[in-house]
Structure 1
Amino acid sequence: MAINYYENNTDLKDYFHTLPPMVKTRIIESGIEVSTLGELMQIAEHFKESD
């Protein structure tokens, strides 16, 4: 998913902006399809813990 996806999705945008830059980059580069805030939160926590 490109950063534009998160910028244009009002449900995800605010939370996405709170994430550390490294986590945002990993989410974008992973290509994971995120459709809900809950999914984004789980994925972000996974990446935070794996570093």
Structure 2
Amino acid sequence: MSADFYKANPDLYEYFNSLPPAVQKQITESGAEISTLGELIQCAQHLMQS
């Protein structure tokens, strides 16, 4: 999903925007279908631990 998706979704925007740019890029390029804040948090934490 593109960064615009996260920016347009108020439930996800604040958290997505708080992530380091490299993690934001990985999430948007991964093609993961993230629709909830919980999924976004899990994905971001996984990427930051890798």
Q: TM-score, normalization: structure 2?
A: 0.97
Residues in 2 aligned to 1:34 and 1:48: alpha-carbon distance in whole angstroms: 17
Alignment-derived partner of residue 10 in structure 1: 10
Unaligned runs of 5+ in 1: none
Secondary structure of 1:5's counterpart equals helix
Q: CA deviation at 1:29?
A: 0.3
Instruction: Give the CA RMSD over aligned residues.
Output: 0.4
- CA distance in structure 2 between the aligned counterparts of 1:41 and 1:29, rounded to whole angstroms: 16
* Paired positions, count: 50
Counterpart in the other structure of 2:47: 47
Unaligned runs of 5+ in 2: none
Deviation, structure 1 residue 39? 0.3
What percentage of aligned pairs have identical amino acids? 52
